[in-house]
Amino acid sequence: MEENSLPEEDVEMMEKSNGTKTVTYEASPIVEPFIGMEFESEEAAKSFYDNYATVMGFVMRVDAFRRSMRDGTVVWRRLVCNKEGFRRLRPRRSESRKPRAITREGCKALIVVKREKSGKWLVTKFVKEHNHPLLPLSPNVRRNPHLSQTPDEKDAKIRELSAELSRERKRCAALQQQLGMVLKEMEEHSNHLSTNINNVIQRVREIESNTFTKL
């Protein structure tokens, strides 16, 4: 048995009459991708391959894409194993820091989907073999969606949240500035009213004083 194959008692391959294969892991059957397989949308293709990856024991990563030169929409997408490629080596900032764990091993497993004129998405390439052991997830275990995020996806999420936090801080600062201007205007208006009231009271007193003097 190959290193990245699943135990025979856990996985059974069933050949269908149309040539497709169904992978059965314990009690969860799932169709194996094949060239010519159709999906209603790109998201449907992603969801299918993500579920397939979970059953087979690897993590999917959304990889490269191509856009239409006509309207800029995505028309081609590559979905890969998260161990695809190799991480670029960077100089260590400190010798005391532990080296990061190896997360990419040059795995070639992937599918490529392309949008047809009909609007459906078609599998145009499928590489099944992995160059690393697979760790199937039992169907009785609920998968944490955060576990499927790769370091790149986590970094992108951190950048997105940081940008959102920065926007909210700027918005809060702008609101505080506006509130300060409103409070200043209210204070100036209050002082103006107080001055006017004092002037009126003073004028009334002067009139009363003149009246009493004449009497």
Lowest mean pLDDT among 7-16, 43-52, 86-95, 177-186: 7-16
Does the pLDDT of residue 15 top 70, yes or no? no
Instruction: Say if residue 125's pLDDT is above 90.
Output: yes
Q: What is the mean pLDDT of residues 90-118?
A: 75
Q: What is the mean pLDDT of residues 136-165?
A: 63
What pLDDT shows up at residue 19?
52
- Residue 146 is predicted with a pLDDT of 52
pLDDT score at 83: 85
pLDDT over 50 (residue 49): yes
Q: What token pair was written down for 67?
A: 């856009």
Measured between alpha carbons, how far is 136 from 133 in angstroms, rounded to an integer? 10
CA nearest neighbour of 155 among 43, 61, 68, 67: 61
pLDDT of res. 210: 76
Q: What mean pLDDT is reported for the chain?
A: 77
| Listed range (83-92, 167-176, 178-187) with the worst mean pLDDT | 83-92
User: Percent of the chain at pLDDT above 70?
Assistant: 67
Q: Cα 31 to the chain's mean position, in Å?
A: 27
Task: Report which of residues 130 and 6 the model is more confident about.
Answer: 130
Helix/strand number for the chain, H first, E second: 2, 8
This prediction has a pTM of 0.50
Question: Is 96 or 17 the better-scoring residue by pLDDT?
Answer: 96
DSSP characters for 111-123?
EEEEE-TTS-EEE
Q: What is the mean pLDDT of residues 156-170?
A: 83
Q: How far apart are CA 32 and CA 15, in angstroms?
A: 10
Residues 6+ apart with CB under 8 A from 51: 30
Range ranked top by mean pLDDT from 62-71, 82-91, 114-123: 114-123
List, for residues 28-46, the tens digit of each pLDDT value.
567 899 999 999 999 999 9
